[in-house]
Structure 1
Amino acid sequence: MRNRRIYRIVVTVACFVFAGMNAYKIIRGYYTWVDVFLLIVFLVFGAIYLYMLFKQSKES
């Protein structure tokens, strides 16, 4: 299987950036339930990819 470390790093950073953008919108007070949902989804996906990165680095 090919090494997908760069791809996982990019996706992890993108997930946390989008989660941060939604968190900023929530902190400012201009948000809907979709913003809260997307914050949670991006945090979960970012955490999953972060776990996969650390798991991969431990195995190598």
Structure 2
Amino acid sequence: MQNRRPYRIVMTVVCFVFAALNGYRILQGNYSGMDVFLLVVFLAFGLIYLFILLRKKNDA
């Protein structure tokens, strides 16, 4: 099976960076409903990737 750990690390960082950019835009007050939606989506995907990275491997 292919090792996807580097890909998951990059995707986690990218998701949190985009979430932070949307959060910054929201804090400035210049935002739309789509910015809030994207903030939630990027945070969700970032947390999912983080959970996948931190979980213990099941050695069967």
TM-score, normalised on structure 2? 0.92
The aligned amino acid for 2:4 is R
Query: Which of the pair is proportionally richer in helix?
Result: 1
TM-score, normalised on structure 1? 0.92
Residue segments in structure 2 that go unaligned for 5+ positions in a row: none
Residue correspondences, number: 58
CA RMSD of aligned residues (A): 1.0
In 1, distance between residues paired with 2:3 and 2:50?
Answer: 15
Query: How many percent of aligned residue pairs carry the same amino acid?
Result: 60
| Structure 1 stretches of at least 4 aligned residues deviating more than 2 Å after TM superposition | none
Give CA-to-partner distance per residue, 1:23-54, whole Å, 9 cap, x none: 00000000000000000000000000000001
